[in-house]
Amino acid sequence: MRGWRRWAVPALVALVALAGCGGGGGGGGGGADSRRLSIATGGTGGVYFVYGGGLAKLITSSLEGYEATAEVTSASVDNMTLIADEKTALAFTLADTASDAVQGRGSFKEQVPAQALARLYTNYTQVVATAGKGIDRIEDLKGKRVSVGSPNSGTEVIALRILEEAGIDPGADLRRQQLGVAESVQAIKDGSLDAFFWSGGLPTGAVTDLATSRRIALLPTDEYVQPLRSQYGEVYSETTIPGGTYKGVTDDVKVIGVPNYLVVNRSMSEDLAYQLTKLLFDKQPELVKVHPEAKNLDLKTAQQVAPLELHPGAQRYYQESAG
């Protein structure tokens, strides 16, 4: 398993991780049917962590005998590795990373036995730059100080693919950094970074915070949708960040969209997978209060998890709901 640092977070939604704990297994590792379920999320500045914290709280309060915690991780790539090793029970992941994982390509040397409970919402590829520095397009990043996302994150996967299509060598053409969204925002504030990639829902709290204290620009990435689809599959689509999402960015910005999946190891029991899927929909109003992206959970689109398969427990829930 890749190196990672794992922080236990109370089921209550928190914005600060608490004491570190080992990455080993056992009951606390939150394997497929442990009574203690861990949820692999992402960094503290992103939507995964907030959404996962809310879900953990609901599991603990609603599923008798289960206790859940949200875990800070580097996000998608690390999360799929944790699912493969059964070190976490549930994980948030971008669809392109999930596709790589189940096919055993890219960052994954072996096929990951993952199945999905639901498609949750769409991530927006947000390339955030300091306004007024002449950075208006991806090509303008050449020679600049740019973060491509945390190591082993879904953001990094997308960033490197976009840069490749734009003819930019991340090692030679950028002063490249690998920071999470919260660290990227702080680096922009400190003046040590010109731009950063971030794949996340709307609004992302860390970007909202930055926009209240600095003038920012969002770079369009829609021209790279078709090249990425041709090379990596149809999980990429064109979407729009509406004007006004972040302070000072008044115009719509067309960007790459990628679905987010909630996944588990295929070894999870059908009953538990059923209960977890049902919980998502039964408690959706509570999740919307945690983060507005939860409103995008929909019975029809939730089942669209290609190229993954739905877990049989999730499939049973959707079949019953349709009946």
**Which of these three, 234, 258, 282, is where a domain ends?**
258
Q: Does 1 reside within a domain?
A: no
- Give the closest residue to 313 by CA, choosing from 277, 262, 264: 277
CATH no. for residue 245?
A: 3.40.190.10
Cα distance between residue 260 and residue 244, in whole Å: 23
Same domain, 250 and 265: no
274, 253: one domain: no
Range of the domain at 276: 6-121+261-322
Same-domain check for residues 108 and 183: no
pLDDT of the residue at 307: 93
**How do strand 145-147 and strand 195-200 relate by DSSP bridges?**
parallel
- Among 230, 258, 286, give the residue marking a domain's end: 258
Same domain flag for 267 and 251? no
Residue percentage of the chain with pLDDT more than 70? 89
Residue 2 has pLDDT above 90, yes or no: no
- Tens of pLDDT, residue by residue over 113-152, are 999 999 999 999 999 999 999 999 999 999 999 999 999 8
Pick from 162, 164, 210: nearest CA to 184: 210
Same domain, 310 and 218: no
pLDDT of residue 152: 86
Separation CA 231–CA 100 (nearest Å):
12
pLDDT score at 8: 37
Residues 283, 162 within the same domain: no
Name the token pair of 317.
């829930």
For residue range 237-296, what is the model confidence (pLDDT) as tens digits? 999 999 999 999 999 999 999 999 999 999 999 999 999 999 999 999 999 999 999 999
Q: For position 24, what pLDDT does the model report?
A: 34
| pLDDT band at 308; cut points 50, 70, 90 | very high
SS3 for 10? Answer: coil
Residue 45 pLDDT: 85
Q: Is residue 266 part of a domain?
A: yes
pLDDT at 319 over 80: yes
In this structure, are 129 and 251 located in the same domain? yes
Domain match, 117 and 265 both? yes
Domain co-membership, 116 together with 128: no
Quote the pLDDT of residue 12: 35
Give the separation between CA 178 and CA 131, rounded to whole angstroms. 21
| pLDDT at 190 exceeding the cut of 90 | yes
Which residues, other chains included, contact 319 with Cβ-Cβ below 8 Å and sequence gap of 6+?
none
Asked if 160 and 231 sit in the same domain, the reply is yes
Question: Mean of the pLDDT values across residues 55-76?
Answer: 96
pLDDT in tens, 171-186: 999 999 999 999 999 9
The answer to whether the beta carbons of residues 186 and 192 sit under 8 Å apart is no
Domain boundary among 258, 287, 303: 258
The two tokens of residue 225 are 């949708």
Whole-model pTM: value is: 0.85
Mean pLDDT rounded to a whole number for the chain:
90
Q: Residue 232: inside a domain, yes or no? A: yes
Number of domains in the chain: 2
- On whether both 59 and 135 belong to a single domain, the answer is no
Rounded distance, CA 274 to CA 318, Å? 9
Q: Are 10 and 90 in contact (CB under 8 A)?
A: no
Q: Which of 26-30, 104-108, 274-278 has the lowest mean pLDDT?
A: 26-30
**Whole-number Å distance between alpha carbons of 199 and 221:** 12
The verdict on 137 and 54 lying in the same domain is no
For strands 20-21 and 6-9, give the pairing.
antiparallel
Whether pLDDT at 34 is above 50: yes
